[in-house]
Structure 1
């Protein structure tokens, strides 16, 4: 889903192995519905909350949730503030140089554009995207005018207040936003990213293997497809 550039690979040397502790801590952004968000009770909710809880049951792990801002989510994994990332993170070669990934638990989600008019041409306007995401990288690679914001909500607000002509983000996220204040989805979509997986420290191979096995078991029995369909986050396997 998102693309985070990390230049602090040396932090990996500081991390401890999650399974040596009583509880495995799962880090998420908590700001990207329907993937992950904070509900009215102040708790992490969404597709990845339900998925993460089920994976921990299947892996026979006791887990707790940690909310972390997107722009520091990989450095704080590497430095040991939690043990795994489950935050709609696309598996990319660049990230894989710093951390490891489980197998993908969803196929790539299409990236879509939303604007205040269906006639907007992203190539000829200003496109908003969340900073350090695959969407921001895509806009920059096209040579278009890009404005970046720290949170996904700010990218949508930029379109509504006229700072940007369109926003590029995961279609599943924009589906929760269109229709409000005149925001509409454009017909054009982009297929970028390579599937979403859990981020794990490179030193925690046993933990990665446990989550890999749990993800595979959910694919094998159809539970994962059912959960994907419920939350409408991506196409099914």
Structure 2
């Protein structure tokens, strides 16, 4: 009986350890090339490839969870997944609610896109995704009017249908959209530097998990694989780490 109890206890411990080593990676699945849903219905993109590599280096098993952007932080805090890896810029406001790893994308430009080069951004109606640093920036611009949408696709649609004069978003997201628009959409105004780079979001209590991912990110920076991955997904001119 004692041996059976010891065996059961060991089995339970093994199961607990396996569970502890499984990390649920929360992402939006709607912000290419950072993350998107491919033709097979799977989460894909830069952050899928990056997240899988980070988990491999950290000795963790990844499970991917799709979540809408507007509830992505609350659902992390409530335990529906263990990380956010979704093109989330590191900001002081977010850092008051959750914790961040070091950046895996350096601070990058945000840009305005419109259907006319004559748009006056100082008084325009500007679309941005809800809960983003771009929405906060537009709200601070003074004469401009912010219109918020739940998804990035809706912000582009608002410009196309005349509901908004321009959109502000990550330039990396906007470049392929402008290139594929056959001149319908164009960059206007100056680029805007926002945020402190993109990092993984974690609950503030998960200090050990943060340390594991920080170590994995550092190793990818040191051996050059992170910069190579950034260029693969964002192009040879993308901002990389020194």
The equivalent of 1:6 in structure 2 is none
- Among 221, 236, 239, the residue aligned to 1:235: 239
Cα drift, residue 124 of structure 1: 2.1
Larger Cα-atom Rg: 2
Q: Return the offset for 1:19.
A: 8.0
Name 1:130's counterpart in structure 2. Answer: 129
Equivalent residues of 2:121, 2:189 under 8 A apart: no
1:139 matched to which residue of 2? 138
- For residues 164 and 145 of structure 1, what CA distance do their matches in structure 2 show? 9
Alignment of 1:140-179 (within 5 A): 140-143=139-142, 144-178=144-178, 179=180
Q: How has the CA–CA distance of structure 1 residues 216 and 22 changed in structure 2, closer, same or farther, with 3 Å as cutoff? A: closer
Structure 1 partner of 2:20: 21
- Residue 33 of structure 1: aligned partner: 32
Paired residue for 1:10? none
Which structure exhibits the higher relative contact order, with contacts defined as CA atoms closer than 8 Å and separated by 6 or more residues? 1
Deviates more, 1:161-170 or 1:115-124: 115-124
Worse overlay, 212-221 or 111-120: 111-120
Aligned equivalent of 2:204: 202
CA distance in structure 1 between the aligned counterparts of 2:199 and 2:38, rounded to whole angstroms = 23
Residue in structure 2 matched with residue 7 of structure 1 by the alignment: none
Partner residue of 2:81? 82
**Partner-residue secondary structure (3-state), 2:196:** coil
Q: Indicate conservation of the 8 Å contact 1:18/1:204, yes or no.
A: no
Higher helix share: 2
List aligned pairs for 1:62-73, cutoff 5 A. 62-73=61-72
Change in 2 beyond 3 A, CA 1:50/1:170: same
CA distance in 2, matches of 1:19, 1:89: 28
1:23 deviates by: 1.4
Partner of 1:91: 90
Give the CA deviation at 1:183.
1.1
Give 3-state SS (helix, strand or coil) of 1:90's partner: coil
Aligned counterpart, 1:5: none
Instruction: Give the gaps of 5 or more residues in structure 1.
Output: 1-16
Cα offset for 1:229?
0.6
Aligned to 1:111: 110
Q: 1:22: Cα distance to partner?
A: 4.3
Give structure 2 stretches of 5+ with no counterpart.
1-15
When you count strand as a share of all residues, which structure comes out higher?
2
Aligned length: 221
Q: Secondary structure at the match of 2:105?
A: coil
